[in-house]
Amino acid sequence: MNALGIAVQTRGGAPLYQQLFEQIAERIRCGAFPDGYRLPPTRALASELGLHRNTVVRAYAELEAAGFLSSTVGRGSFVKAPRFADDAPSAPARRRGLPWPSMVSEAARAEPMERFRRARRTSVPHGAVDLTRMQPPPELLPTELFRRCVEHVLRTNGAKALGYAPKEGFRRLRQAIVEDLARLAVPCAADDVLVTTGSQQGLDLMARALLGPGDVVLTHASTYAGALQVFAATGAHVVGVPSDEEGPDVGALRRLGARRPKALYLMPNHVNPTGACMTAARRQAVLDWARDAQVAVIEDDYAADLELEDEPPPPALRALDADVIHVGTFSKRLIPALRIGYLVVPPALQPYLLALKHTSDLGSSALTQLALAELLERGYLAAHLNKLRPFYRGRRDALCDGLREHLPRDVRWQRPVRGLSVWLELPRRVDPGRVFEEGLSRGVVVSPGRHFAVDEGTRPGLRLNFCAEPEERLRLGAARVAEAIEAVREAPRGEAAVVDLV
């Protein structure tokens, strides 16, 4: 062992200079090399470690660039120890607390927000079959493909990748999104695209741009809980539209037109949570009504590319009407942590959205934008989808097989052709909240339909996601869900627990 207590592996592993950098940095961080400590000369340390001197020189240069060292010709290299928490001033004395609950806004008290706060108190029991998670499992994340793209971006873009990005997003990424949308038959140009920090920010920007206190926004009677929250935050009044097997009831829309709605929010390809898909004829009829009523249509295609059969969806609303606002994301089909979504918007609306986005985040991450552009340009998304679809198809089939075997006949459900979830329509006498509670005690976690419901009149149900659990556990989960439903049917009514997983 050498004087610094450092050893590097000359075969395999990270490059030698990186190993040396990391070991010295760790010793500085933990205090083994205190502030002002003089490191050995590069020639002496290289000889002691059996390394080429250039390796040590590069490691020292990297340490100095990172702020761990200060080097002076003729004097040597000295440690510049970071300041840690122990060196920080103590916390100020607490005064009498403010009455925070009474100070928050009415928007923060809206019912969808209350649901979210109540739900955070419930955790998933260890070992339970989790049918609530709607994101790719670790084995389906394209870690290696994304790593290559990030490394290439850092190598070729340097500091540009670590600075602020244009508020509308890098044009390179917007053009890549245009080409990807063309594959999905969604027409647009790069100037129509606004990159957002996830599709959730896109919905928030649209809500803030279009809605104010008292404005009416229409949506599916059961819909995405995150959309209900952003609409509620504006003070808008959300009204559920009844549907049949083809989509939203046009007669109901005509009646609701008397309330002068500002916007209609739809998930035409796969409604979260019910999985319903609007027919082509109903899409055109709804757009005709919206045009006559002068209502803005927001199309959320969160499940893009998650086709489980060789059956393409009907035409996108944006393909039928250029005034439709199209919302998309890469979270479900690629990497949730990217936090990159996008809006396709009419030109007249874009300046308002850009201003609102600037107030939110000053621009989405430059590094992840450039890495995603690289990934799309290399064709990695298409390759990843070739792996993703069969994987999800098998999990869907496993859950559906279990439901078919165990569910009572009066629980209605359909085998989905796209998306990540199955919707169970429960008999009215079976409370989804009590099924959730009973399921917890039996080792399965489900999402009760009340968290997606616009109002209390919405038909009860459960959302079961199949993407995060392996096939054998999905079959087990289906059996436990069936047991929980039967237990609630037979037991006296009582208080139900809550959960909220979007």
- What whole-number percentage of the chain has pLDDT above 70? 93
Residue 112 has pLDDT above 90, yes or no: no
* Per-residue pLDDT at 56 exceeds 80: yes
pLDDT of residue 492: 64
Residue at 497: amino acid letter: A
Q: Which residue has the higher pLDDT, 123 or 294?
A: 294
Over residues 340-344, the mean pLDDT reads: 98
Q: What pLDDT band is residue 335 in, cutting at 50, 70 and 90?
A: very high
Name the average pLDDT for the chain. Answer: 90
Among candidate residues 351, 352, 279, the one with its CA nearest the CA of residue 317: 279
Question: Where do we find the tokens 């920010």?
Answer: 201
Per-residue pLDDT tens digits for 257-304: 999 999 999 999 999 999 999 999 999 999 999 999 999 999 999 999
Any idea how long the chain is? 502
The pLDDT-based confidence of 154 (bands split at 50, 70, 90) is very high
For 385, residues 6+ apart whose C-beta sits below 8 A from its C-beta are 305, 333
Q: Which residues contact 148 (CB under 8 A, 6 or more apart)?
A: none
pLDDT of residue 176: 98
Q: What is the pLDDT of residues 436-458, one digit of tens each?
A: 999 999 999 999 998 899 987 77
Flag whether pLDDT at 404 surpasses 90: yes
The pLDDT score that the predictor gives to residue 90 is 65
Whole-model pTM? Answer: 0.84
Domains of the chain with bracketed CATH:
16-83 (1.10.10.10), 108-134+383-490 (3.90.1150.10), 142-378 (3.40.640.10)
Token representation of residue 415: 């085998």
pLDDT for 113: 79
Name the band, by pLDDT with cuts 50, 70 and 90, for residue 498: very low
Q: How far apart are CA 371 and CA 340, in angstroms?
A: 11
Residue 410 C-beta-side C-alpha neighbours within 13 Å: 8
pLDDT at 122: 62
Mean pLDDT (whole number) for 364-389: 96
Q: What does the buried/exposed string (b/e) look like for 459-469 if buried means 16 or more CB atoms within 10 Å of the residue's CB? A: ebbbbbbbbbb
Categorize the per-residue pLDDT at 499 as very low, low, confident or very high, splitting at 50, 70 and 90.
Answer: very low
pLDDT in tens, 228-242: 999 999 999 999 999
Model pLDDT, residue 88:
54
